Amino acid sequence: MLVNNVEYSVGVVLTQWKRPHLEKQLRQIINQTIKIDYVIVFQNEKHVDISDLIKKYNVIHVHSSYNTKYFGRFSYFFTIPVDICIVMDDDIIPGTNCIKNYVEQCVNKNAIIGGNGRRALNGGGVSTETGVRPSKIADFVGHMWCFKKDWLYFMFGTKPYTYDTSEDMHLCYSSKFFGSIDSYVAEHKTKEDCCDITNNRLASDSVASFTKTPRSLRNSVEEYWQKKGVKFLGK
């Protein structure tokens, strides 16, 4: 993809766990307004048989019999030659201009671009809606992450407080601490720019991670990074 007369290769990782939305995501990914160089489906364990979809859409299938939870999907980018990495949760359906929109903002802002965002230490949501909206700075972003591959060395160059949750915080806070990289909620000018054209309708179900993760554990992650010296936005 060309941004400011510079060519960037782009990879997208889709997450497969227990939800049934993969084909909807794949349809939208193959109909993007730009060419995606690598499309990877990262599957933890095997709760859903996706073999027919992998063949139908001719995408890379990475299957781990061990549940790598939230961090494993990010690590696959070390194995492929891309400049820009995008990781998508399994409860969002992107608009057809989503990838182009996020990559442009990542390059132009030199920042991690996310589908939603929050302030640290229970500071509340910067933007939790996924529809048309302006861009806003956040302490950490989630739902979907667009970032330069080099920033993965910040994420995996330091041990997380926990592997059980908070990959969103660990990516954003390590990039902020080691690389002075900010995080922004993406601007969505039209529905097709959005990371989720359903506007969060698929997120609240029986497998949603936020229903299973103690808030106290995520608070501890933030306190860990605050003690290391990360400066948060405040309430």
Question: Would you state the pLDDT for residue 21?
Answer: 96
The whole-chain average pLDDT of the chain stands at: 94
Question: Would you state the pLDDT for residue 213?
Answer: 83
For 179-196, the pLDDT digits (tens) are 999 999 999 999 999 999
Among 169, 138, 171, 177, which residue's Cα sits nearest to residue 152? 171
- Determine the average pLDDT of the residues in 62-67: 96
Torsion of CA 85, 13, 155, 115, to 10 degrees: 80
Structural domains of the chain, ranges and CATH numbers in brackets: 8-228 (3.90.550.10)
Instruction: Tell me the pLDDT band of 205, cut-offs 50, 70 and 90.
Output: confident
pTM: 0.95
Instruction: Tell me the pLDDT band of 39, cut-offs 50, 70 and 90.
Output: very high
For 148-178, the pLDDT digits (tens) are 999 999 999 999 999 999 999 999 999 999 9
Among 133, 79, 80, which residue's Cα sits nearest to residue 105? 133
Query: Lowest-confidence range among 29-43, 152-166, 210-224?
Result: 210-224
